[in-house]
Amino acid sequence: MAKVELEKVSKIFDNHVVAVDDVNFDIRDKEFIVLVGPSGCGKSTTLRMVAGLEEITSGEIRIDGRVVNDVAPKDRDIAMVFQNYALYPHMTVFENMAFGLKLRKYPKQEIEQRVRDAAEILSIENLLDRKPKQLSGGQRQRVAVGRAIVRKPKVFLFDEPLSNLDAKLRVQMRTEISKLHSQLETTMVYVTHDQVEAMTMGDRIVVMKDGKVQQIDTPMNLYDKPSNKFVAGFIGSPAMNFVSGQIIREEGLHFTTANIKLRLADARAASMADYVDKSVIMGIRPEDLSEYQLIESPRPDRGAHCRVDVVEPMGNEIFVYLSLGADALVARMSVQARPEVKKDYHVHFNMDKAHFFDATNETVIC
């Protein structure tokens, strides 16, 4: 059992920077939770407070029901893997992995066994006699993880562990850490600024901005039901398109700007009724824009004429960058689409999938 609870946790640094602002969330036993957000949003500080490396200004952190606010890092039964791996350069891989256990005065035989077991899990048995400088980035990363595994902690904390690796290795290590999680069945908390890493690894994701939690949810819920414009724009690549406009009633509700008039899905009518003649922000994902002629039964009240700025072929699909008056949009289309640069292009908006946000506070309406 290793449940981690954060209740009203804040961190204000000496320079009055509010790094973490009244954060509340529970991490369930054996859960893989990812903290994600842009640089400076407070995710590392949150993790470091769980680890005990940073003092908490106010609030409470509990591990398995025990308040750990004043418990030293070494007594919290957690292990942390850092971005820079923090390996000792003069020690071999074996010694690096064994170090924490030696400090805790484990019997020699047990240390040997634990290091060999961890090395086997990570496929680094053949590297145990090497020094860190004789390893590749990915191998160093594995050793850093190995050093955490040997401790058999209740909770693993990862602070951007893959950011020093090249793109291909990052994808590979991502899968390895996910596999490791199901193998070890331990609670893991993982910090990253990369939304793809968050989406692919997390059972649940905590999205942060300016020290505050924006939404905590499963990857698919964050994608399909973002609670505000920030989450909607942060999760997904290419990012969701946003267009500011008005809701009008004209034989049903429409979203309008100077350049478009799109009929809302009937299912949205009730939620949007209060916004008639008011400003809203429409969000629509790139895959919900299509070439009008390629839609099986297109609806004229959901089409708009855009101008094609750039076409990016991706092999299995194309990204089409469009102008709609002053608004820029990106569409993710099938390779059958035939947009021509600098030409008019008839685009179909899948309004069943559109999101609407309040123009003032940017929270989701529906």
- Cα(290)–Cα(346) distance, integer angstroms: 9
| 43 near ligand ATP, judged by CB under 6 A | yes
| 42 near ligand ATP, judged by CB under 6 A | yes
Quick one: 14 or 344, whose CB is closer to ligand ATP? 14
The 8-class DSSP code of residue 364 comes to: B
Span of 10-18, 110-118, 197-205, 329-337 interacting with ligand ATP by CB under 6 A: 10-18
Instruction: Report the residue closest to ligand ATP, judged by CB.
Output: 44
| 226 near ligand ATP, judged by CB under 6 A | no
| 13 near ligand ATP, judged by CB under 6 A | yes
Span of 2-10, 37-45, 223-231, 288-296 interacting with ligand ATP by CB under 6 A: 37-45
Which residues make beta-bridge pairs with 308? 322
Name the residue among 173, 158, 163, 212 with its Cα closest to residue 33.
158
Query: Which distant-in-sequence residues (6+ apart) come within 8 Å of 286 by Cβ?
Result: 236, 238, 240, 241, 319, 329, 330, 331, 332
> Taking the complex as a whole, how short is the minimal distance between the CB of residue 22 and ligand ATP, in angstroms?
14
* Chosen residue from 29, 40, 239, 359 binding ligand ATP by CB under 6 A: 40
Quick one: 53 or 311, whose CB is closer to ligand ATP? 53
* Chosen residue from 37, 146, 245, 286 binding ligand ATP by CB under 6 A: 37
| 355 near ligand ATP, judged by CB under 6 A | no
Do residues 238 and 319 lie in contact, with contact meaning Cβ atoms separated by under 8 Å?
Answer: yes
Quick one: 42 or 283, whose CB is closer to ligand ATP? 42
Which residues make beta-bridge pairs with 212? 209
* Chosen residue from 6, 27, 36, 45 binding ligand ATP by CB under 6 A: 45
| 109 near ligand ATP, judged by CB under 6 A | no
> Taking the complex as a whole, how short is the minimal distance between the CB of residue 174 and ligand ATP, in angstroms?
17
Quick one: 39 or 182, whose CB is closer to ligand ATP? 39
Residue 274 CB-density burial (10 A; 0-12 exposed, 13-18 middle, 19+ buried):
exposed
Which residues make beta-bridge pairs with 149? none
| 209 near ligand ATP, judged by CB under 6 A | no
**DSSP codes, 25-59:** EEE-TT-EEEEE-STTSSHHHHHHHHHTSS--SEE
Give, as ranges, the residues between 180 and 199 that touch ligand ATP (CB under 6 A).
193
Span of 43-51, 99-107, 317-325, 335-343 interacting with ligand ATP by CB under 6 A: 43-51
Total residues interacting with ligand ATP, rule: CB under 6 A:
13
- Cα(96)–Cα(144) distance, integer angstroms: 8
- Cα(273)–Cα(270) distance, integer angstroms: 5
| 314 near ligand ATP, judged by CB under 6 A | no
| 41 near ligand ATP, judged by CB under 6 A | yes
- At residue 296, the 3 state secondary structure works out as coil
> Taking the complex as a whole, how short is the minimal distance between the CB of residue 334 and ligand ATP, in angstroms?
35
Do residues 88 and 135 lie in contact, with contact meaning Cβ atoms separated by under 8 Å?
Answer: no
Query: Which distant-in-sequence residues (6+ apart) come within 8 Å of 186 by Cβ?
Result: 2, 30, 153, 154, 155, 156
Do residues 51 and 157 lie in contact, with contact meaning Cβ atoms separated by under 8 Å?
Answer: yes
> Taking the complex as a whole, how short is the minimal distance between the CB of residue 285 and ligand ATP, in angstroms?
25
Give, as ranges, the residues between 14 and 33 that touch ligand ATP (CB under 6 A).
15, 17, 19
> Taking the complex as a whole, how short is the minimal distance between the CB of residue 123 and ligand ATP, in angstroms?
29
Give the angle 257-237-331 at the CA atoms, nearest 5°.
45
Footprint of ligand ATP (CB under 6 A): 13, 15, 17, 19, 37, 39-45, 193
